[in-house]
Structure 1
Amino acid sequence: MAQCKYASTKQTTNAARLSRVVIDVFTDLFREILKLHITEIQFPFVLQEKRDKLCAILNKNQKEYLYPVKDLFTGTYKEFDLSLLYILIRNVSGIPSHQHGWGKTPKPRDRSVSANIDRVREIRNKNCGHSGSASLDDGDFHRLWQELRFIIGEIEAALKLTTYTDAINFLENETMDPEQQEMYLSIIDDQQVTISDVKGTQDILMKEQKRQNQEIEKQGEKLCRLERQSKKANNEQRKKPTCVVFLI
């Protein structure tokens, strides 16, 4: 009876299949996006240039991995998971943010690369993972799969890439056994913590930056008022009649 409770269903297979396309196809796609903007030869030097910015965002394991104590980073992009790739694309690739800004829900008509990257992040966060209770009905599955297929097509067209549309088409009906399902759901669950932590940290940093910018703006306005007051006082002083005393 207990086994029946946890047996695979069409709904759990749908959730696992969606997780698989995110882990396999979109992770490879994100690697290629990063490589198009920063080659693996350039990457260690970009890491050093962006060290302060990244170290404020990365978790402990990511920092230790990207910033060895006594050497430059010597790994490859093949070792990066989706969460780390998202951090790097967002913060060091130079890809412009979409109209609402990185980490926020894009406008429906904004089909830029960054907007589509954030759409993948949102689909992944809302619909993948939760290995103990994963479930996705056929209607939601096909709607999300079509959206992901469309996103892949747009990114491929924008960056002149190929093969990823073929990959998602293949995985739509590829057989998945219970062990595969559990593996993909577990992987996506582990990544969820990292992505949530990153989003929280970046939101805090953005709020602090906004606060600092507002404070700088207030100080600038105060200085402008003082300058106008000083200029007005000087003008009024110059307009006063001058008293001339003649000595006889």
Structure 2
Amino acid sequence: MASPYSSTEETTNANRICRLILGPCTDELHDVLCHFVPPQALSHVIHVFHVNQKKPGRGLPLTGPQRDLILPRNGSYTGNYDDMDISLLYILLRNICGIPSHSNGWGNDPDPIDYSPSACIERIRLARNQCVHSPTSSLSNTEFSNIWSTIRSAVVSLDTFLSNGCKYEREVDFLRRETMDPVRDKHYQEELKKQVQEDLKTREMVTNLKRKMEENAEKGVGIENR
């Protein structure tokens, strides 16, 4: 009798999407960030971003580990972006690169016909979330085909933006045919889950910060009216 934990076509679908997101998609977003901000300029660009914020508390919504990575206490960032995951890449691409928002605004589903850089970045982030939030860590063939097609279109558009000769489109097509190893590939889902948890922490931080700012503003009004 087959084990209830045996690999199925549906779990293989989910693992294949995870490999796609953690591999070519993440590497392509590394390249997009580098296109706008070379690694050696990152610390300066972040400093300028913070200085230009008109309201206090409007800095980058970073978790502790993210801040330690890109804003080290001793010196400037000296990495090459390969150590950044999609959660951190999305924050930086959205906030410090000057990329125009897609028609529905950052953080929202893009219009189906919108393939601007921000819309493609958004689609990759949303596909990651959709894969992670699958209740059974599996995807039907229909779900898999839809997500894969969405991601591939986003990757192709970003390839065009980067003028890199279809570099990541080829990697996407390779992974579609690549043999999967259930034991080896299980860690891809675990890594994506960690990234989504980081996103949730970031959102909670932003919500708490907004609440404190509103409370402080109310207190300020009260004092002025005495």
8 Å contact from structure 2 (residues 123, 150) kept in 1: no
Q: Please list every run of at least 4 consecutive aligned residues from structure 1 whose deviation after the TM superposition is greater than 4 angstroms.
A: 51-56, 199-209
> Post-superposition shift, 1:115?
1.1
Corresponding residue to 2:114 among 99, 110, 117? 110
Is 1:59 aligned to 2:69, yes or no?
A: no
> Post-superposition shift, 1:8?
0.8
CA RMSD of aligned residues (A): 2.6
Is 1:69 aligned to 2:60, yes or no?
A: no
Q: Which amino acid aligns with 1:76?
A: N
Alignment TM-score, normalising by the size of structure 2: 0.82
8 Å contact from structure 1 (residues 15, 129) kept in 2: no
Q: Which amino acid aligns with 2:90?
A: Y
| Number of corresponding residues | 209
Is 1:9 aligned to 2:8, yes or no?
A: yes
What residue is the counterpart of 1:40 in the other structure?
A: 39
> Post-superposition shift, 1:112?
1.0
Structure 2 gaps of 5+ residues are: 215-226
> Post-superposition shift, 1:187?
0.8
Q: Give 1 or 2 for the bigger CA radius of gyration.
A: 1
Structure 1 gaps of 5+ residues are: 212-248
* Alignment CA distance shift 1:115-1:142 (3 Å): same
How far apart in 2 are the matches of 1:207 and 1:90? 22
- Percent identity reads 31
**What is the correspondence of 1:20-31 to structure 2 with a 5 Å cutoff?**
20-31=19-30
> Post-superposition shift, 1:7?
1.2
> Post-superposition shift, 1:176?
1.2
> Post-superposition shift, 1:24?
0.4
Alignment TM-score, normalising by the size of structure 1: 0.75
* Alignment CA distance shift 1:82-1:56 (3 Å): closer
* Alignment CA distance shift 1:206-1:168 (3 Å): farther
How far apart in 2 are the matches of 1:46 and 1:105? 28
**Alignment deviations for residues 122-144 of structure 1 (CA, whole Å, 9 cap, x no partner):** 111112366x8311011111121
What residue is the counterpart of 2:94 in the other structure?
A: 90
8 Å contact from structure 2 (residues 39, 77) kept in 1: no
